Amino acid sequence: MVFKRLLGSIGVGAPTVDTVLEGGAVRPGGPLRGQVQLQGGQADFTIQHITLELVVRIGAPGAPGAGGDGKNLTVFDRGVVAENFTLPQGALNSVPFELTLPWQTPITQLYGQPLGVELGVRTELAIAAARDQGDLDMFAVEPLPAQEAVLEALGQEGFGFAAAALVPEALPGTGQQMPFYQEFDLVPPERFAHRVAELEMTFLPNPQGVEVVLEADKRAGTLPPGHPAGMLREVLAHDPAGRDWNAEVLGWVERLLEGREAAVAQFAAGMHPGMQPGMMPGMQPGMQPGMHPGMQPGMAQPQRRGPGVGTAVAAGAAGLAAGVVGGMMVNQMMDGFSGDEEEAADEGFDDGGDDGE
């Protein structure tokens, strides 16, 4: 995977930069290796530093809340790989690097199937008072073994993968380390469909293990935001061996739903006359379940999360990904962002191929 870019902001005759990433998919907490290859310009240049930034898109380009570049790009880690050296006129120089990915780096593919998460490394070259940032060289991140075991068990039990989204919010009471978290939205199999419409699962890895956060219909308004009965937390070791994951994940789902149903029943017992089941405390007669206090009938319901990057891999209850043990399948893949490859290049993402230089 290579990008080449003339450093236009530094001036005519400036160096060019190729960033080459080694190997295939990487994992959270693991190394990202490669080389920054420099071609000297029409004069000697003193390089102040070469910095690599890990960048992810949160939301669609140009959407509300986009950054100054209109691309909703968020830098979540960076590291200096070289500094204070002279690049002679016309000389070739290669700078090897190894970056350790943060443990909570988003997953971009599951069993080889892309999830629509746009993540890459961006190279910044600083010369004198000028700085220039290259395009993004995208790379794939696959799940850790414990994450993979949980997702595979859910697929074998009939849960379908609906979407993977990056949510730019805090998840209270957890070990979240990023200004966003990745949420997997799952469609339940028929035996759970009368109790829940959607499960939301988040993985928050760290050096010691993986924290799993499971929520149920959190956008339906049946419980106040942040209610403890709406969330189940489990902490797993990194080594998934020796566990009956199918039974374990079904136990999590059952405990979550039982706690949620008990809490909803408590609220229902305290409803005032005219309230309907599923309405939240403070709602007035005539309001529909799922509406929040202050909303009027006919008002638009709150959107799921607005700036989520997640792209649906429509599977219903068919499973989480293609070609894995248990016959999990994906029925349809939808592109991670609108437009063709030319539009992607215009937005600053490199497809991993040579641009012809």
- 102-118 pLDDT, tens digit per residue, is 999 999 999 889 999 99
Averaged pLDDT for residues 66-86: 80
Structural domains for the chain: 2-142+339-350 (2.60.40.640), 145-269 (no CATH)
> For the sheet containing 119-127, what is the strand order?
73-87, 45-57, 119-127, 130-138, 349-350
Q: Three-state DSSP class for 224?
A: coil
- Label residue 164 by pLDDT band (50, 70, 90): very high
Q: Which residue in 111, 81, 100 sits closest to 207, CA to CA?
A: 100
Both tokens assigned to 151: 């997702």
The whole-number pLDDT of residue 79 equals 95
- 210-240 pLDDT, tens digit per residue, is 999 999 987 766 666 667 777 899 999 999 9
CB-based contact 157:326 (threshold 8 Å): no
**Mean pLDDT for the chain?**
76
Alpha-carbon distance of 144 to 142, in angstroms, equals: 7
Higher pLDDT: 320 or 173? It is: 173
Residue 114: beta bridge partners? 109
DSSP state of 100: E
CB-based contact 16:59 (threshold 8 Å): no
For residue 234, give the H/E element and its range.
Answer: strand 231-236
The whole-number pLDDT of residue 67 equals 42
CB-based contact 195:257 (threshold 8 Å): yes
Averaged pLDDT for residues 39-52: 92
Averaged pLDDT for residues 140-159: 96
